[in-house]
Amino acid sequence: MELQFLGTGAGVPVKHRNVMSVALKLLQERNAVWIFDVGEGTQMQILHTSIRPRKIEKIFITHLHGDHLFGLPGLLSSRSFQGGEEKLSSLTIYGPAGIKKFVKTTLSISMTRVNYEIDFYEIPKVGGKIFADDQFEISALPLEHGVLSFGYRVEEKSQEGRLQVNRLQKLGIPFGPLFGKLKKGEKVTLTDGRVLDGKDFVGEKKPGRTLVIIGDTRKSEQAISLAKDADVLVHEATFEDGKEKKARRYFHSTTTQAAEIAKAAGVQKLILTHYSARYSNQDLKLLRKQAQEIFAEVITVKDLDEIEIPAKF
């Protein structure tokens, strides 16, 4: 599980920073990539990465402001060219009400045809669970912005412990169907009369990881609730410390407000992004230092930075 930041800017692109987009690379977990927000120029940023658009399985839009949305039609169109004549797998887009109309309208007016199915999930205003399978569960909560804006919580489910093969081999148990039964925790009787309980030969469950990505927002209780005990929190930091009045007026957050959210939620690591165009990459050290006065584990990312979220053992 790895994050790559395709764009880290707020409002408009600048020479050193594109507007918002974050890729969650789940290549080992499910051979797929999930994208959170698709600001203008996202597909150009992808060209500088190892991401293959055909592997994009899900796209999550936090809200319908252009700096989080305008790159979506182009990315959807370009994805069609990844498979040649082969029909690609379907893709699901999650977002506030209106996302389906936006995509359908832009593709229709530009007479763009895609060679794969696009499914839409328009999230209710109150949020809630929006996806679950045997690997992941995703929920969304509305935040405080000028328009309906969601934060997303991605929870990886616990994985079953590994079968302790070496122990079984030392007991003279041959590879075969018995291994499968023991892995399921079943009891098996050997030809010599010995009874083995699978529960004694399976390691502890490996806890899953939790990632929270907060869309544009003022400092809010919803953000704390969504981020509770997360391993990684990605939070906007549009303004520096001391600009709280301005942040509130524009429905955004400061570096210190993001750190306060991380501290209150008890997260392990805070990643700051979505910086105002007024800040250069050289300013990121200052922004990080401001947040660290409240919460120690802070990273300020630049475009194309990659952050691994290691498995728990």
CA distance linking residue 282 with residue 254, whole number of Å: 17
Q: How far is CA 89 from the centre of its chain?
A: 20
User: Judging by beta carbons within 10 Å of its beta carbon (0-12, 13-18, 19+), is residue 165 exposed, middle or buried?
Assistant: middle
91 or 182: which carries more pLDDT confidence? 91
pLDDT tens-digit series, residues 30-64: 999 999 999 999 999 999 999 999 999 999 999 99
Q: How confident is the model at residue 186 (pLDDT cuts 50, 70, 90)?
A: confident
Total number of residues shown for the chain: 313
22 pairs with which residues across the strands?
5, 36
pLDDT at 114 over 80: yes
Closest CA to 253 of 305, 291, 210: 291
Phi-psi region of 289 (alpha: psi -120 to 50; beta: other; left: phi over 0): alpha
CA distance linking residue 241 with residue 249, whole number of Å: 15
pLDDT tens-digit series, residues 115-169: 999 999 999 999 999 999 999 999 999 999 999 999 999 999 987 777 788 888 8
pLDDT at 85 over 90: no
Cβ atoms of residues 40 and 11 within 8 Å: no
pLDDT tens-digit series, residues 198-254: 788 777 778 899 999 998 999 999 999 999 999 999 999 999 999 999 999 999 999
| Catalytically annotated residues | 67
Domains of the chain, first to last: 2-159+205-308 (3.60.15.10), 165-200 (no CATH)
14 or 194: which carries more pLDDT confidence? 14
* pTM score, whole prediction: 0.88
Helix boundaries (H) for the chain: 27-30, 42-46, 72-79, 99-109, 165-170, 177-183, 221-227, 244-249, 255-265, 284-292
DSSP at 11: S
